Amino acid sequence: MAEAVTRAKVLNDRVVGWVELISWLLIAAGLISVLQALPVNRLIEAVTGWVQGFGVLGPIVFAGVYIVVTVLFLPGSPFSIAAGALFGLAEAFLAVLVGATLGAGVAFLIARYAARNAIERRLKGYPKFKAVDRAVAEGGWKIVALLRLSPAVPFNLQNYLYGLTAIRFWPCMLATAVAMIPGIFLYVYVGYASRAGLEAATSGEAEGGFGRWILLGVGLVATIVVTVYVTRLARRAIQSQTDVESFESNEEKEEPVSNEPTKADLQSGPGRHSWVKAGGLATVAVVIFFLGISVQLRADWLTQWFGPPKVTMTEAYAPKPSGPTFDHSRLDRILKRYVDANGGVDYSGLAENPKPLLEYNASLEDAPFDKMGRNEKLALLINAYNSFTLELILEWLGRGIDSIKDIPKDQRWQDARWNIGGHVWSLNEIEHKRIRPHFQEPNVHWALVCAAVGCPPLRREAYSGDRIEKQLTDQARRVHTNESRWFRYDRSNGTIHLTPLYKWYSSDFEQAAGTILKYAAQYFKPLGEDLKAGKRPAVRWLDYDWSLNSQKNLP
């Protein structure tokens, strides 16, 4: 009977091992699919913008966040990597080191003075508690340093554990700070290298990029090698001086361990607990894997939360010089009357006489959209988007909104209510499904106006199929006028400030010109000259003002 149970356990362990391996592979595949669909550069930029909003206090704020992370037992490595991506290498390293050390100190003091009894009861059930307690009593700060370098005991758990030992506070904190240096530097460097590579790939020139990748890669490998080497040395030292590594049971080590199957083994079957764990892991793996598949099939389902979806621009429509047109003269008169030279809108005046705008928008339902040629379609879609947006603002103006974002989300850009030639679309559908994928024309981003100060200026005339290219080029040149609210180039210190539209729609501009800087250089000669000379200005993002583009809000 014992032999049968033993064979069953061996078979069970193998099957469970394969289930866990396959589960981890599915989890990895699912996460890769999700991350591939996410606009990672936009996420990093968003977090960076939030942190940079604190100015020089940014690293200090981050250190404060890290203290909370440490005290709450949250894993610190993702935050260390994030610090490397958010700040420079030195600033990130210091922020994490200070935050982790102070967090360890707070946990130490909590364990020693504030919640000693409760924590002691919890840790008594921890297998290595007695071994660590004995080792620290004999070796003091040296053992603390070795344990910090070794993964024998989880880092956050050590913070509380040492508060229950006899070691003094300051020797413990000093040993902690020094011993954390290799691990912290490794994680921070991973984040720093990832951010540096991302910036080189998305916002700058290719020149020097390959060499930069090599240097970053060599530095990362060297950091990993040193960290692993130091960790192994620490582990060997611990094994030679303590019994922490070998203390694996909740029971005392002196108790004999029987290989005979127990009554519980015979009743519950082999590996029941391991199957519960494997089953849970497999369930999580299947959910994440199918989430990854769903995201790949419907990328907009996820990306809608992180900004505009990525599209592949194509020219889907042929020109039709003799095809039907549409009369935009009513909109032209409205724009000339209620829009000033800065692109500011007289919403109060428009609200007093909305009839012409509403009549124009209603007439769009009869536009011969499907029969139009390429340029007429594009002019119609841009005019419709801008005119529908004006109507939307008028509907909510009496409710005291200060921004289009004050309008509920389901009634704003995602509300499918706007009729163009018999097709009912939302504003998002007009932009992201009707325009961007069907026209190789990134300059539309300087023409579509979402009623915000940060948007490009609303043109004082309607777009026309026979002049659409000239009008779009003129809009692009207007946006790239130096010292504008959308573009500034400080040539002296090599810094360029761009509207976040370049960040949100970076893929569109890259498809057209290779990089966003090359695209901008088409409309600002000094930038083009510097790029040809091999200079690569640092990209900074201007604030995007979401307040209404009313005449009183515009300078």
Quick: pLDDT tens for 54-73: 667 778 888 888 888 888 87
The reply to whether 505 and 367 lie within a common domain is no
Residues 6+ apart with CB under 8 A from 261: 1, 2, 5, 6
The reply to whether 450 and 527 lie within a common domain is no
The reply to whether 491 and 475 lie within a common domain is no
Given 237, 252, 267, the domain boundary residue is 252
Q: In this model, does residue 308 exceed pLDDT 70?
A: yes
> Who has greater pLDDT, 465 or 131?
465
For residue 267, which phi and psi values (nearest 5 degrees)? -80, -40
Alpha carbon distance 113, 554 (integer Å): 58
Alpha carbon distance 304, 430 (integer Å): 15
The reply to whether 372 and 458 lie within a common domain is yes
- Least confident range from 191-200, 258-267, 288-297, 396-405: namely 258-267
For the stretch 149-169, pLDDT in tens is 665 556 777 777 777 777 888
Q: Are 279 and 287 in contact (CB under 8 A)?
A: no
Tokens of 150: 């070794």
The reply to whether 87 and 216 lie within a common domain is yes
Give the range of the structural domain holding residue 101, as residue numbers without chain letter: 56-252
Q: In this model, does residue 340 exceed pLDDT 50?
A: yes
Mean predicted lDDT score pLDDT of the chain:
78
Report CA 485 to chain centroid distance, whole Å.
Answer: 25
Burial class (CB in 10 A: 0-12, 13-18, 19+), 240: exposed
Q: Is 495 inside any structural domain?
A: yes
pTM for the full model?
0.57
Tokens of 553: 């809000």
The tokens 């991506």 sit on which residue?
Answer: 85
Provide the H-helix boundaries in 298-406.
299-303, 329-338, 347-352, 355-363, 374-397
- Mean pLDDT over 174-192 rounds to 82
Q: SS3 of 40, please?
A: helix
Alpha carbon distance 126, 129 (integer Å): 6
The reply to whether 386 and 473 lie within a common domain is yes
pLDDT value of residue 275: 63
- Mean pLDDT over 128-150 rounds to 64
Tokens of 97: 């080191």
The reply to whether 211 and 118 lie within a common domain is yes
The reply to whether 81 and 207 lie within a common domain is yes
**Cα–Cα distances in angstroms (integers) from residue 283 to residues 21, 32, 220, 268, 547, in the given order:** 13, 18, 35, 22, 46
Give 554's pLDDT tier (boundaries 50, 70, 90). Answer: confident
Give 512's pLDDT tier (boundaries 50, 70, 90). Answer: very high
pLDDT value of residue 81: 79
Q: In this model, does residue 404 exceed pLDDT 70?
A: yes
- Least confident range from 205-214, 255-264, 390-399: namely 205-214
pLDDT value of residue 548: 96
Alpha carbon distance 181, 361 (integer Å): 64
The reply to whether 498 and 388 lie within a common domain is no
Angle, in degrees to the nearest 10, between helices 209-241 and 129-139: 90
Give 327's pLDDT tier (boundaries 50, 70, 90). Answer: very high
Given 221, 252, 283, the domain boundary residue is 252
pLDDT value of residue 449: 97
The percent of the chain in helix, strand and coil, each rounded to the nearest 5, is 65, 5, 30
Residues 6+ apart with CB under 8 A from 505: 308, 442, 445
DSSP codes of every residue in 95-131? HHHHHHHHHHHHHHHIIIIISHHHHHHHHHTSTTHHH
Q: Which amino acid is at 17?
A: G
Alpha carbon distance 202, 527 (integer Å): 17
Q: Are 153 and 128 in contact (CB under 8 A)?
A: yes
The tokens 């362990």 sit on which residue?
Answer: 13
- Least confident range from 175-179, 406-410, 547-551: namely 175-179
Q: Are 297 and 29 in contact (CB under 8 A)?
A: no
pLDDT value of residue 482: 75
Report CA 283 to chain centroid distance, whole Å.
Answer: 26
Q: Are 339 and 390 in contact (CB under 8 A)?
A: no
Strand partners, 418: 425
- Mean pLDDT over 293-321 rounds to 74
Q: Is 270 inside any structural domain?
A: no
Q: Is 265 inside any structural domain?
A: no
Q: In this model, does residue 314 exceed pLDDT 90?
A: yes
Given 226, 252, 278, the domain boundary residue is 252
pLDDT value of residue 483: 77
- Mean pLDDT over 78-104 rounds to 85
Q: What percent of the chain has pLDDT over 70?
A: 68
Q: What is the DSSP letter of 423?
A: E
pLDDT value of residue 3: 65
The reply to whether 393 and 491 lie within a common domain is no
Give 417's pLDDT tier (boundaries 50, 70, 90). Answer: very high
Q: Is 42 inside any structural domain?
A: no
Give 323's pLDDT tier (boundaries 50, 70, 90). Answer: very high
**Highest mean pLDDT: which range of 213-222, 456-465, 496-505:** 456-465
Q: Is 43 inside any structural domain?
A: no
Number of alpha carbons in the 13 Å side-chain half-sphere of residue 232? 6
Q: In this model, does residue 374 exceed pLDDT 90?
A: yes
pLDDT value of residue 51: 64
Nearest to 155 by CA among 139, 135, 132: 132
Q: Is 183 inside any structural domain?
A: yes
The reply to whether 429 and 535 lie within a common domain is no
Burial class (CB in 10 A: 0-12, 13-18, 19+), 179: buried
The reply to whether 471 and 358 lie within a common domain is yes
Question: For the chain, what is the domain count?
Answer: 3
Q: Is 524 inside any structural domain?
A: yes
Q: Is 319 inside any structural domain?
A: no
Give 247's pLDDT tier (boundaries 50, 70, 90). Answer: very low
Counting every residue, how long is the chain?
555
Q: What is the DSSP letter of 543?
A: P
